C-alpha cells in the first residue's frame, strides 16, 4: 500500500510490553512516560494479548468501537473458511458465553473491557478507546511455565 502512495493519517505504533503478568508494568510505564502526547494524539489502543492461541475469534472493546469491529470483521476473510470472520464468529462456537443466547442474537457479543491486560493504562488512565482482539481456543498452556 505504501508503494502505491497510501499513507496513514496518523502514526501507527507497534509495541510489545514486558511484565504484563507482574502487574502490567511495561505498558503502564510507557503510558505514564508518554501521557501528555497520548492524551493529545492517541485515538485507539488495539490489544492482541492472545492474538493467535486458537481458531475462535472474540473481541472486547470500548462500546464506541463495536460497530467498527462488526464492519471490519465483515470484510476480512477467516483464515480457515471461505467466509468472513464475522460470519464464522456469528455462527461458530462462543467460548465463555452462553451458546443458546448467542445463537439467537442478531450480532455476536462484544465484551466490555475490564482489567488484567495492557489496555488498562490507555483506557482507564488516559481514557483512550481500546479493543482486545483474539483468536482463542483450547490452548491449554496459557499462563503456564510454557507460555513464554
Residues marked as catalytic: 20
Residue 13 Ramachandran class (φ > 0 left, ψ -120 to 50 alpha, else beta): beta
- 26: Cβ contacts below 8 Å, ≥ 6 apart: 17, 18, 19, 20, 118
In angstroms, the CA 55 to CA 139 distance is: 10
Check if the beta carbon of residue 89 is closer than 8 Å to that of residue 108.
yes
Residue among 69, 54, 50 nearest 130 (CA): 69
Helix segments in 10-134, DSSP class H: 25-33, 35-41, 66-73, 85-91, 99-104, 120
Of the candidates 40, 37, 36, 79, the one whose C-alpha atom is nearest the C-alpha of residue 57 is: 79
Amino acid at each position: 500500500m505504501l508503494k502505491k502512495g497510501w499513507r496513514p493519517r496518523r502514526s501507527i505504533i507497534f509495541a510489545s510490553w514486558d511484565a504484563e503478568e507482574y502487574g502490567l508494568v511495561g505498558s503502564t510505564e510507557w503510558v505514564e512516560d508518554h501521557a501528555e502526547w497520548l492524551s493529545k494524539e492517541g485515538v485507539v489502543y488495539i490489544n492482541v494479548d492472545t492474538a493467535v492461541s486458537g481458531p475462535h475469534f472474540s473481541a472486547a472493546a470500548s462500546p464506541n468501537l463495536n460497530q467498527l469491529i462488526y464492519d471490519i470483521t465483515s470484510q476480512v476473510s477467516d483464515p480457515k473458511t471461505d467466509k468472513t470472520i464475522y460470519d464464522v464468529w456469528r455462527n461458530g462456537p462462543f467460548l465463555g458465553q452462553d451458546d443458546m443466547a448467542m445463537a439467537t442474537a442478531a450480532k455476536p457479543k462484544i465484551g466490555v473491557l475490564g482489567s488484567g491486560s495492557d489496555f488498562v493504562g490507555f483506557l482507564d488512565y488516559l481514557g483512550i478507546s481500546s479493543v482486545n482482539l483474539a483468536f482463542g481456543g483450547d490452548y491449554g498452556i496459557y499462563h503456564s511455565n510454557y507460555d513464554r
